[in-house]
Amino acid sequence: MAGAPLVLVMLVAAVGVVAAERGGGKLRQGYYEQSCPRAEQIVKDYVERQIPLEPSVAATLIRTHFHDCFVRGCDASVLLNATTGGGEAEKDAAPNLTLRGFDFLDHVKALVEQECPGVVSCADVLALASRDAVGVIGGPFWRVPTGRRDGRVSIKQEALDQLPAPTMNFTDLLASFRAKGLGVADLVWLSGAHTIGISHCNSFSERLYNFTGRSGPGDADPSLDAEYAANLRRTNCTTPTDNTTIVEMDPGSFLTFDLSYYHGLLKYQGLFQSDAALITDDA
């Protein structure tokens, strides 16, 4: 039964995705069975070939999928570029500046287009590729209903206003999720995606250097394990202004989808304030 919690994690992730859809009731399994029967297999084959060569892409795919779904539903609006003479797009918002893997998605989409021009949405390609990538790095398989429609509107401010921030406390995180029709369980399980991937130091350096606003180094967040904080300051984020160094979100296991993220939380080794927030409430 060791794998059961992982299955629950991703089943709820899938439920959360569907809940975030616009017109989610129109989604169904096998949506492309008649119009493009090989679509899902084409995505799966490419992901299974490429992810072993660049395993870190799995984390950015599922993060991109989450950031897409949390703003305007799962409509691939996070993939749109700003229009000439128009406002900036979701992609230009600070939380999305570190997203990558766009070339990966473009290549998958091109392969599907060769098979069935103008049939499969970018939103479905992103949802399927995210699921398949997680499977390649040790996570479970979950069923992805398809039939999403690509959006044509992408607004930077909406991403800034709606995406949960790594500095949020439990109350703010839960409010953010409830605004999307999600609850405590969804918050905890979806946070488990931090079992893979990396972060830049500037996303959490305040926890290491100036948490209470006092001057001087070493004023670390008391909710962060002291030895873990000291090690981060010594070997990774050596200055408060470092915005280029990257750190594993789940040390020693950041390329494997497993339960160690939760084990780390219980040792007060969650990297972000939003991670640490999960053990501040009895729920």
Q: Any binding-site annotation on 161?
A: no
Closest CA to 162 of 185, 133, 182: 182
The catalytic residues are: 67
With 0-12 / 13-18 / 19 or more C-beta atoms within 10 angstroms meaning exposed / middle / buried, residue 155 is: buried
pLDDT beyond 90 at 162:
yes
pLDDT beyond 80 at 4:
no
Which tops the pLDDT comparison, 138 or 5? Answer: 138
Q: Any binding-site annotation on 225?
A: no
pLDDT beyond 50 at 12:
no
Average of per-residue pLDDT across 227-247: 93
Question: How do residues 251-264 score in pLDDT, each as one tens digit?
Answer: 999 999 999 999 99
Which tops the pLDDT comparison, 144 or 212? Answer: 144
Query: Is 72 within 8 Å of 153 (Cβ atoms)?
Result: yes
Query: Is 65 within 8 Å of 20 (Cβ atoms)?
Result: no
Backbone angles phi, psi at 199, to 5 degrees: -140, 155
Q: How far is CA 273 from the centre of its chain?
A: 16
Cα–Cα distance for residue pair 214/173, rounded to 1 Å: 26
Q: Any binding-site annotation on 73?
A: yes
Average of per-residue pLDDT across 83-87: 72
CA dihedral 32, 37, 38, 39 (to 10 degrees): -10
Q: Any binding-site annotation on 71?
A: yes
Average of per-residue pLDDT across 133-154: 95
Cα–Cα distance for residue pair 8/149, rounded to 1 Å: 27
End-to-end CA distance of the chain: 23
pLDDT beyond 50 at 24:
no
Q: How confident is the model at residue 218 (pLDDT cuts 50, 70, 90)?
A: low
Query: Is 182 within 8 Å of 61 (Cβ atoms)?
Result: no
Q: Any binding-site annotation on 281?
A: no
Cα–Cα distance for residue pair 232/249, rounded to 1 Å: 12
Question: How do residues 52-73 score in pLDDT, each as one tens digit?
Answer: 999 999 999 999 999 999 999 9
Mean pLDDT of the chain: 89
Query: Which pLDDT value is given to residue 85?
Result: 65
Count the Cβ atoms, other than its own, within 10 Å of residue 122. Answer: 23
Query: Which pLDDT value is given to residue 8?
Result: 42
Q: How confident is the model at residue 26 (pLDDT cuts 50, 70, 90)?
A: confident
Closest CA to 10 of 254, 146, 190, 148: 190
Query: Which pLDDT value is given to residue 217?
Result: 58
Residues near 199 by beta carbon (within 8 Å), at least 6 away in sequence: 166, 246, 247, 249, 271, 272
